Amino acid sequence: MSTPSKEKSQKPKIPWYNDVDGFRIPGMFSVEAYKSALAYKPRPDDLIIVTYPKCGTTWVQNIVACIFREGKPFGSALEFFSDTPFLEMTGAEAAEKMKRPGAIKVHLPFRLTPWSPEAKYIFVARNPKDCCVSFYHHTESMPGYVFEDGEFDDYFELFINGEVDFGDYFDTTLSWWEHRNDPNVLFITYEQLKKDTVNNVLKIAEFIGHEYK
């Protein structure tokens, strides 16, 4: 009698996530910080950079920082993270205490993003194929996910079903696409930014404020 191969009998390996009210966050994140992030009240001068993970977040954070800082680079990674806080990881207090002008980062669909018609929001979208591959490598290489040597095929199934951290790529992107014409929302893509960096940086600067263009 034959026995199933080890490959077929093994259950898919799943990264470590926490499910908070139906929304997955990385297992190493504080649930308390995440909940405080959702309750954050944006200030009128807030700029919030919204992306699904691995869609150009850090690139746009640095572009915005260079605009605000007149090209002056950050002195350290600590300065970067404190001046551009990741709201779901750090909680609301970090955003309340950050230097201004500055930008807050979130990976949230529209329905969960702290919203104010007076604040400004930059949403960055990316080709889902490239996003998925990059997100897999990020997850597999980060010890906190406990996904070392995780298989791409297993991760792809999670991604395509919206079962990875920060929810469903398509739901998040479409939820912000519906607001692309709101006066306080700038919807851009990673591909546009890569193809015509100069003009899209100028578009970001003008959106932030005419004094920055």
Report, as ranges of residue numbers, the positions in the chain whose pLDDT lies below 70: 1-11
Give residue-wise pLDDT tens across range 81-92: 999 999 999 999
Q: What is the pLDDT of residues 186-196, one digit of tens each?
A: 999 999 999 99
**Residue 49, phi-psi category: left (phi > 0), alpha (psi -120 to 50), beta (remainder):** beta
Q: Output DSSP code: residue 143.
A: G
Alpha helices, DSSP H only, in 75-121?
77-83, 87-90, 92-97
Alpha-carbon span 113 to 190, nearest angstrom: 21
What is the pLDDT at residue 211?
Answer: 84
pLDDT computed for residue 5 by the predictor: 43
Report, as residue numbers or ranges, the catalytic residues: 107
pLDDT in the model for residue 213:
73
**Model pLDDT, residue 11:** 67
Token representation of residue 167:
């929810």
Angle subtended at Cα 74 by Cα 70 and Cα 75, rounded to the nearest 5 degrees? 130
pLDDT of residue 212: 81
Assigned CATH topology for domain 22-208: Rossmann fold (3.40.50)
